[in-house]
Chain A
Amino acid sequence: MKLTKTLLASTALTVAAGAVAAQDMANDMTLVSWGGAYQNSQQKAYVEPYQEMNPDVSIVWDESSAEAVAKLRAMNEAGNITWDLVDVVAADAIRLCDEGLAMEYDPEELLAEGDDGSSAEDDFGDLIVSDCFIPQIVYSTTVGYRTDMVGDTAPTDICALFDTETYPGKRSLEKRPINNMEWALLCDGVAKEDVYDVLETPEGQDQALAKLDTIKDDVIWWSAGADTPQLLADGEIVMGSTYNGRLFSVIEEQDQPVAMLWDAQVFDLDGWIIPAGLSEERLARVKDFVKFATDTQRLADQAAYISYGPARKSSAPLVGEHAELGIDMAPHMPTDPENSKNTFVYNYEFWADYRDDIDAKFQSWLAQ
Chain B
Amino acid sequence: MTDSTAGMTPEEARRADEAHTGPMLAADGTPLKKSLARALRRQKLRALGLIAPLLVFVLITFVVPIGDMLLRSIKNDIVADTLPATVETLADWDADASELPGDDVWMAFYVDMWFAAERKEHTRLGSRLNYEQTGVSSLFRKTGRRVDRFDTDVYTDQLVDLDPSWEDPASWAAMLDGPAADALPLTAETWERWKEFNVEEGDAVLEEDVPDFLFTTLYYELNNGAEVDGMSDRLDAAKAAVGEFETVSLQEQFADADEDWLDPEVWKTIQLYSPRVTSGYFANSVDMQLTPEGIEPRPDNQQIYGILFKRTLFMSLVITGSCIMLAYPVAWLLSNLPMRTANLLMILVLLPFWTSLLVRTSAWKVMLQQQGVINDVLVWLGLVADDARLTMINNQFGTIVAMTHILLPFMILPMYSVMSTIPPSYLRAAKSLGATNWTAFWRVYFPQSVPGIGAGSILVFILAIGYYITPEIVGGNTGTFISNRIAYHISSSLNWGLAAALGTILLVVVLVLYWAYDKIVGIDNVKLG
Interface residues of A (CB under 8 A from B): 66-67, 69-70, 73, 95, 97-100, 104, 170, 175, 206, 209, 216, 220-221, 223-224, 234-236, 349, 352-357, 359-361, 363-368
Contacts and interface: CB of A to CB of B under 8 A. Distances in A.
Contacts of B131: 356
Nearest to A169: B370
B123 A221 contact: no
Interface stretch (B176-184, B263-271, B408-416, B486-494): B486-494
A308 B440 CA distance: 70
B127 A367 contact: no
B126 interface: yes
Given A356-B495, A367-B304, A236 B477 contact: no
A361 B301 contact: yes
B284 to A, nearest CB: 9
A360 B494 contact: no
A365 B491 contact: no
Nearest to A363: B304
A360 B494 CA distance: 14
B247 to A, nearest CB: 33
Contact of A221 (B126, B301, B308, B476): B476
B304 A99 contact: no
A82 B479 CA distance: 37
Given A70-B494, A355-B493, A364-B303, A98 B137 contact: yes
Nearest to B136: A353
A175 B474 CA distance: 12
B528 to A, nearest CB: 34
A356 B134 contact: yes
Contacts of B126: 98
A365 B372 CA distance: 29
30 contacts: A69-B491, A69-B494, A70-B491, A73-B494, A95-B127, A95-B494, A98-B123, A98-B126, A98-B141, A100-B120, A100-B123, A175-B477, A206-B301, A220-B476, A221-B477, A224-B473, A234-B369, A235-B371, A352-B138, A353-B134, A354-B134, A354-B135, A355-B493, A356-B495, A360-B302, A364-B307, A367-B307, A367-B311, A367-B478, A368-B307
B239 interface: no
Contacts of A349: 138
A43 to B, nearest CB: 24
B234 interface: no
Given A236-B371, A365-B301, A100 B491 contact: no
B137 A367 contact: no
A174 to B, nearest CB: 12
Contacts of B137: 98, 352-353
A100 B302 CA distance: 30
B394 A99 contact: no
A346 to B, nearest CB: 15
B502 to A, nearest CB: 13
Interface of B: 120-121, 123-124, 126-127, 130-131, 134-138, 141, 301-304, 307-308, 311, 369-372, 394, 472-473, 476-478, 480, 485, 490-496
Contacts of A170: 370
Nearest to B145: A131
Given A95-B127, A98-B141, A367 B493 contact: no
A234 B371 contact: yes
A71 B311 CA distance: 29
Nearest to A92: B492
Given A220-B394, A356-B493, A236 B369 contact: yes
A73 B492 CA distance: 12
Nearest to A168: B387
Nearest to A224: B473
A70 B490 contact: yes
B286 to A, nearest CB: 14
A353 B123 CA distance: 12
Contact of B124 (A99, A236, A354, A368): A99
A100 B116 CA distance: 11
8 tightest A-B CB contacts, nearest first:
A98-B123, A357-B134, A70-B491, A364-B304, A366-B477, A360-B302, A353-B135, A100-B120
A209 B301 CA distance: 11
Contacts of A361: 301-302
A366 B307 CA distance: 11
A223 B126 CA distance: 28
A73 to B, nearest CB: 7
A220 B475 CA distance: 10
A5 B397 CA distance: 80
Contacts of A223: 472-473
B301 A367 contact: no
Contacts of A234: 369, 371-372
A364 B493 contact: no
Nearest to A130: B141
A175 B492 CA distance: 13
B489 to A, nearest CB: 10
Contacts of A98: 123-124, 126-127, 137, 141
Contact of B485 (A99, A216, A363, A368): A363
B313 to A, nearest CB: 15
Given A67-B491, A98-B124, A353-B135, 4 more contacts: A98-B127, A175-B477, A353-B138, A356-B131
B300 to A, nearest CB: 8
